[in-house]
């Protein structure tokens, strides 16, 4: 990891220190993704088969996971893993159900009632990565709130394995949340299929899920095209840890490596006001890294990561708020007392015994979170992400008489005479 003394950097160097690695390859990624989306838009299923063969080295006649494949997956997944997924799903549901938005109505004037009603998004597409590692936990994180929202049609895309099958654990997780249609499709081509629709895949209204830089770019491109909405830019993964002298170096190193092993384009940052802590964490990273099966992936991610020494913890929080991390770990004494300093973050983890991995799997919060600085404006996935909020208003004769003049005055000020007339005619009818 790169070691930096924040006070010794000028403004340009500070901006460079907080630059995500994916931004450095964005141009090449953008062009490649645009070409894939265009191919799917032109050739539909034929394009999906060709792209899947090109990138995944698998020839597929059908993208749909069959009932036989679902049944086989149930037999292949170990009972202890099924039990863990069931436990996680229960906690995810408990957390998300507690935060569900409620409809409301208010009388804003005599005879005028304004309401907000909640409706599920009709057709949603879920993306579950399975590139370097399958992520059944993501199927839980997306499937549970989609079910709570009541979405009518849910399709889940996940990349095929080398034998043309989908990961069994992902299939079990999907069924556990009520998702019955799973497609063996990955990468930007899966996003394009859900956004545009093909002969066999219906167009979705909104797409959810994390992914690598190609998947994230594809989501942003289809959203800009106006054909579909997305949850947020979600990937590659990142974590920022703020630690003080009392933090456990082994714990901090493990948290950094847990994100670094996601992929070579992941990024991890450690900020501390204690040089000794940075030294100890750096040594721990070397020790733990050597024992990781995904050591080469983590090593690449660490090459674009940072150890930053600051003059004070207040400065650490200022840097964090500028960076807008996906995950923020506060490895501090009395961490809750520092929570008020957090202005921007996807998800926050308080104290020495709250590793980010708990949020990834089973604490109950959602692990589909904004990345690449998007936490400054986006929030993590929740039930409301799968819902539309529709405003409703009603006015009776008393209501139009009470507020009609206000509407007429504003309409005339804006030069919209037809607007004014629509109100005036009703006011005249009431007075007649």
Q: How far apart are the C-alpha atoms of 68 and 167, rounded to whole Å?
A: 14
Q: How far apart are the C-alpha atoms of 134 and 129, rounded to whole Å?
A: 6
- Tokens standing for 430? 């009431």
User: What is the overall mean pLDDT for the chain?
Assistant: 96
CA proximity to 371, closest of 348, 345, 390? 345
Domain boundaries, the chain: 26-103+119-230, 236-376, 396-431
The pLDDT assigned to 43 comes to 98
Evaluate if residue 111 carries a pLDDT over 80: yes
Which residues sit opposite 230 in a β-bridge? 207
pLDDT tens column, 43-88: 999 999 999 999 999 999 999 999 999 999 999 999 999 999 999 9
Supply the DSSP symbol for 335. Answer: G
- The number of residues making up the chain comes to 432
> Distance of alpha carbon 383 from its chain centroid, rounded?
13
pLDDT tens column, 225-253: 998 999 998 988 999 999 999 999 999 99
Across 130-144, 291-305, 402-416, least confident range: 130-144
The pLDDT assigned to 227 comes to 81
pLDDT tens column, 171-213: 999 999 999 999 999 999 999 999 999 999 999 999 999 988 8
Beta strands, E only, 281-386: 306-309, 327-331, 347-350
Q: How far apart are the C-alpha atoms of 196 and 136, rounded to whole Å?
A: 25
- Residues 6 or more apart from 338 whose CB is under 8 A from it? 242, 313, 317, 330, 332
CB 52 within 8 A of CB 161: no
The pLDDT assigned to 175 comes to 97
- Tokens standing for 414? 């804006």
| Same CATH fold assignment for domains 26-103+119-230 and 236-376 | yes
The pLDDT assigned to 25 comes to 66
Residue 327 bears catalytic tag: yes
261, 326, 356, 367: the active-site residue: 326
Report the CATH number of the 236-376 domain: 3.40.50.1980
Q: State the DSSP H helix or E strand holding residue 115, giving kind and residue range, or none if neither.
A: strand 112-120
DSSP per position, 239-280 = EEEEE-TTS-HHHHHHHHHHHHTT-TT-EEEEEES-HHHHHH
Strands lying side by side in the sheet with 123-127: 181-184, 153-158, 123-127, 206-208, 229-230
Evaluate if residue 12 carries a pLDDT over 70: yes
> Cβ of 300: how many Cβ atoms within 10 Å?
16
* Burial class of residue 162 in the structure, from the number of CB atoms within 10 Å of its CB (0-12 exposed, 13-18 middle, 19+ buried): exposed
CB 26 within 8 A of CB 171: no
Residue 326 bears catalytic tag: yes
Evaluate if residue 26 carries a pLDDT over 90: no
Q: How far apart are the C-alpha atoms of 200 and 184, rounded to whole Å?
A: 13
- Tokens standing for 325? 């991390």
pLDDT tens column, 392-412: 999 999 999 999 999 999 999
CB 320 within 8 A of CB 6: no
HEC sequence for 22-55 = HHHHHHHHHHHHHHHHHHHHHHHHHHHHHHHHHH
Report the CATH number of the 26-103+119-230 domain: 3.40.50.1980
Q: How far is CA 377 from CA 22, 315, 355, in A?
A: 19, 22, 25
DSSP per position, 56-112 = H----S--BPPHHHHHHHHHHS-HHHHHHHHHHHHHHHHHHHHT----EEEEEETTE
96, 262, 327, 367: the active-site residue: 327
The pLDDT assigned to 272 comes to 98
SS3 content of the chain, % helix, strand, coil (to 5): 50, 15, 30
């Amino acid at each position: 990891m790169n070691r930096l003394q924040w006070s010794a950097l000028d403004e340009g160097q500070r901006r460079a220190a907080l630059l995500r690695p994916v931004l450095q390859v964005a141009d090449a990624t953008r062009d490649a993704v645009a070409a894939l989306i265009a191919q799917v838009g032109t050739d539909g299923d034929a394009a999906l088969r060709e792209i899947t063969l090109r990138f995944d080295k698998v020839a597929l006649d059908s993208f749909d996971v069959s009932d036989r494949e679902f049944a086989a997956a149930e037999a292949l997944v170990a009972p202890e893993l099924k039990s863990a997924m069931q436990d996680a799903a229960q906690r995810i549901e408990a957390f998300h159900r507690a935060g569900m938005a409620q409809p409301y109505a208010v009388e804003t004037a005599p005879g005028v009632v304004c309401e907000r009603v909640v409706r599920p998004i009709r057709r949603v597409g879920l993306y579950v990565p399975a590139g370097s590692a399958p992520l059944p936990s993501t199927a839980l994180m997306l499937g549970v709130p989609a079910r709570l929202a009541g979405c009518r049609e849910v399709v889940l895309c996940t990349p095929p394995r080398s034998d043309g099958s989908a990961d069994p654990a992902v299939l079990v997780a999907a069924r556990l949340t009520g998702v019955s249609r799973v497609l063996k499709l990955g990468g930007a081509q899966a996003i394009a299929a859900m956004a545009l629709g093909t002969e066999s895949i219906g167009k979705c209204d909104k797409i959810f899920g994390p992914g690598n830089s190609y998947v994230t770019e594809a989501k942003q491109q289809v959203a800009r095209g106006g054909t579909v909405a997305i949850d947020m830019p979600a990937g590659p993964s990142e974590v920022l840890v703020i630690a003080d002298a009392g933090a456990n170096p082994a714990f901090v190193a493990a948290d950094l490596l847990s994100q670094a092993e996601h992929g070579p384009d992941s990024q991890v940052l450690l900020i501390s006001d204690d040089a000794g802590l940075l030294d100890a964490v750096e040594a721990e990273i070397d020790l733990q890294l050597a024992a990781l099966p995904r050591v080469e992936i983590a090593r690449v991610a660490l090459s674009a990561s940072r150890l930053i020494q600051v003059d004070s913890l207040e400065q650490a929080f200022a840097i964090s708020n500028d960076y807008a991390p996906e995950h923020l770990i506060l490895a501090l004494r009395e961490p809750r007392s520092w929570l008020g300093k957090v202005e921007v973050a996807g998800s926050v983890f308080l104290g020495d015994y709250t590793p980010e991995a708990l949020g990834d799997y089973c604490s109950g919060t959602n692990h589909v979170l904004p990345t690449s600085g998007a936490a400054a404006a986006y929030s993590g996935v929740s039930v409301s992400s799968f819902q539309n909020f529709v405003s409703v208003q009603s006015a009776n004769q008393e209501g139009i008489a009470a507020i009609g003049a206000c509407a007429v005055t504003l309409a005339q000020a804006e030069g919209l005479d037809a607007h004014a007339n629509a109100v005036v005619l009703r006011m005249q009818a009431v007075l007649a």
